[in-house]
Amino acid sequence: WWFMKSIAIVATLMLSAVSAVFSPWKIVITSKDETGESMIATGRVFAPDGKTPVEGIRVHVYHTDAKGYYNPGITSSQKPRLNGTMLTNEEGRYEYRTIRPASYPQSRNPAHIHYVISGKGYSEQYDELEFDGDPFLTGEVIEKSRKLGTFGVIQKLQRDVDGIWRTVKDIRLKK
C-alpha cells in the first residue's frame, strides 16, 4: 500500500511540475463528434494600458451548444458542459477550439461566449464574446463595441479555407 501511495504522490508532483512549465494556453473544448460548426477563438490579454501583454492570466470560457443549451435541455449556466480554462503564454496569448454557440431557445439574446478572467495582481473580471451580424444585437451595443476594437464584446467571425469559423477577442485587464 505504501508503495502505491508513494507512486501516487510522485505522479502528482510530476504533473504539477509539468503543468507549471507547460501552461495550457491553447485548448480544445469540443470533440469532433460535437454537433455544430467548428470555431477557433484567439486573443491576447493585456495590462490596463492595453499594450503590455500579460503572461499567466487564467481565461475561463463557457457557452451553449449548437441548440442553445448549456447542458441537454438546460439553459442555466451552472456547470456548463462546454467550457475550458487557459493560462496565457509569454505573449499574453490564448486560443480555444470549440463550436459556434447558439442563442438560448425562444429568446432574443445574441449567441455568446462567457469569459471569466483572473490573475495575480488583478481583480476577477467578466466579459463576453458576441458575433457581428447576430440578428439579436442592438444598435447601441454594436456602436459601443465598435469603439473598443478587438477589446469590444462584438467581434467578426470569418470562415477560413477549411470552413472553420475564426474570431479574435482581446482582453484589457482591470486593476
- pLDDT by residue for the chain (175 residues), tens only, comes to 444 444 544 444 444 444 444 559 999 999 989 999 999 999 999 999 999 999 999 999 999 999 999 998 888 888 999 999 999 999 999 999 999 999 999 999 999 999 999 999 999 999 999 999 999 999 999 999 999 999 999 999 999 999 999 999 999 999 8
Grid cell digits, residue 162: 477549411
Burial classification of residue 108, based on how many CB atoms lie within 10 Å of its CB (0-12 exposed, 13-18 middle, 19 or more buried): exposed
- E strands present in the chain: 26-28, 38-46, 58-63, 82-87, 93-99, 112-119, 122-131, 154-155, 158-159, 165-168, 171-172
Nearest to 68, CA basis, from 31, 97, 108: 108
Q: State the pLDDT at residue 22.
A: 52
Grid cell digits, residue 49: 494600458
Q: State the pLDDT at residue 75.
A: 80
Q: State the pLDDT at residue 140.
A: 94
Give the Cα-Cα-Cα angle 167, 169, 174 (nearest 5 degrees). 175
How far CA 54 is from CA of 73, 96, 170, in Å, comes to 38, 18, 12
Q: State the pLDDT at residue 15.
A: 44
Q: State the pLDDT at residue 74.
A: 83
> What pTM did the predictor assign?
0.85
Q: Phi and psi at residue 83, in whole multiples of 5°? A: -155, 165
Cα–Cα distance between 70 and 82 in angstroms, integer? 7
Q: State the pLDDT at residue 173.
A: 98
Q: State the pLDDT at residue 11.
A: 46
Length of the chain (residues): 175
